[in-house]
Structure 1
Amino acid sequence: MAKIFGLFFLLSAVNMASAQDKFLTKEGFVSFFSHSIVEDIKADNNQVLSIIDTTTGKIAIQLLMRSFMFEKALMQEHFNENYVESHKYPKATFSGEIKNLNEIDGTNTATEIVGTLTVHGEKKEISTMVDIKMMDDEIILKGDFKVDVADFKIKIPAIVANNIAKTIKVSFELHHKPYE
């Protein structure tokens, strides 16, 4: 049911025109990495929904916070229960635009993506460079950006403050196929 709702959200967020102008993935990849003097923390999510409208350059991305997988089960539990409070804020979303999408040919090209990232109920405008490859049957986006944990009002207890970086690196790879 959550996937159906998520797909509906993505489709409505992009302002549909015609199906051949839409590219979709339900199996996108997002990871984050925290490096601190005490430990490194990495988590991967392979259940990312994303849709691109090639007519407008609009993009919408949604993922469930509980879908992040950690090396250690205890890290995953703390992440969901104490930090991102996934029972209250189950999803993270991004809604934005791929700049100059209509000028990109099939080769690997760097372009800017801008929009609003929503995590933990907080919104933050972001802009980052992405590598994009456009083909008739696939659009691939790869990139990364950094976020400050404090921008999303995620509270880190003092006792573990040295274990978690104040700035987290987020990486993504999204392979979109034509939406039919």
Structure 2
Amino acid sequence: MNKIFPLFLLITLFSGFNSDDNQFIARQGHISFFSYASMENIEAQNNQVLSILDLKNEKIAVSMLMRAFVFKKDLMYEHFNESYIESDIYPKATFEGDIINFEPSLDKQTKIIRGNLTIHGIAKEIDIKTTIEKVNGTYALSGEYNVFVKDFDIKIPPILSSNIAKMITIKFSFQYQSYDE
């Protein structure tokens, strides 16, 4: 049930989403984040990210479960989910955006994707510089951007504030297939 819900959510985000040659899905996208810290850097990977790409309407939607992030240490995983992200209350993060000035004839292009990123129940409009590559009729998107912890109302106890960066670097890569496959 937990794996089906994000897919259902993404499909409903695109009202009128009918399958054709301009619609693609990435079922195992990759998102990672990195936070420089004085004591120990914090890094996590999530390979269970779902994304739908609608090139006809120049839109993208992304959904991921926060508990799917993998950390090097179990204690980091526990703190991330229980103390900071509060995954029981806010189980997923989403992004819905528009690809600005997409050029379907180009095999490789760098474009801005503008949309709303929702983390910890807070939505914030962001612009993401994204590389879009067309390979054998499918698409790959990748890029990185920074977010500020305070923008998403994530509380960090004062005693730990020096151990967690105020800005987090997020990297992503999605390999899309035709929606029909």
TM-score bracket, normalised by the shorter chain, equals over 0.9
- Residue type of the partner of 2:100? K
Deviation at 1:16, TM superposition (A): 3.4
Normalised to the residue count of structure 1, the TM-score between the two structures is: 0.95
Q: Which residue of 2 aligns with 1:83?
A: 84
Deviation at 1:159, TM superposition (A): 1.6
Partners in 2 of 1:16 and 1:139 — Cα distance?
22
Q: Which residue of 1 aligns with 2:73?
A: 72
SS at match of 2:112: strand
Q: Which residue of 1 aligns with 2:3?
A: 3
RMSD: 1.2
Give % identity: 45
CA deviation map 1:68-90 (0-9, x unaligned): 00000000000000000000000
Normalised to the residue count of structure 2, the TM-score between the two structures is: 0.95
Partners in 2 of 1:137 and 1:107 — Cα distance?
10
Q: Unpaired runs of 5+ in structure 2?
A: none
8 Å CA contact 1:14–1:51 kept in 2: the answer is no
Q: Which residue of 1 aligns with 2:127?
A: 127
Deviation at 1:22, TM superposition (A): 1.2
Deviation at 1:4, TM superposition (A): 1.2
Q: Does the C-alpha gap of structure 1 residues 94 and 50 become closer, same or farther in structure 2, counting only changes over 3 Å? A: same
8 Å CA contact 2:93–2:120 kept in 1: the answer is yes
Tell me, yes or no, if structure 1 residue 27 matches structure 2 residue 19.
no
- Residue type of the partner of 1:142? S
Tell me, yes or no, if structure 1 residue 50 matches structure 2 residue 19.
no
Tell me, yes or no, if structure 1 residue 61 matches structure 2 residue 62.
yes
8 Å CA contact 1:105–1:134 kept in 2: the answer is no
- Residue type of the partner of 1:64? L
Out of 40-49 and 5-14, give the one that drifted further.
5-14
Q: Does the C-alpha gap of structure 1 residues 17 and 80 become closer, same or farther in structure 2, counting only changes over 3 Å? A: closer
8 Å CA contact 1:66–1:80 kept in 2: the answer is yes
Partners in 1 of 2:162 and 2:105 — Cα distance?
45
- Residue type of the partner of 1:45? N
Partners in 2 of 1:80 and 1:138 — Cα distance?
34
Q: Which residue of 1 aligns with 2:95?
A: 94
8 Å CA contact 1:50–1:61 kept in 2: the answer is yes
Deviation at 1:136, TM superposition (A): 4.9
8 Å CA contact 1:118–1:124 kept in 2: the answer is yes
8 Å CA contact 1:14–1:59 kept in 2: the answer is no
CA deviation map 1:13-67 (0-9, x unaligned): 1233431221001100000000122221100000000001111011100000000
Deviation at 1:106, TM superposition (A): 4.5
8 Å CA contact 1:99–1:111 kept in 2: the answer is yes
Out of 87-96 and 9-18, give the one that drifted further.
9-18
- Residue type of the partner of 1:107? D
CA deviation map 1:87-134 (0-9, x unaligned): 000000000111122x14342211110000000000100002100012
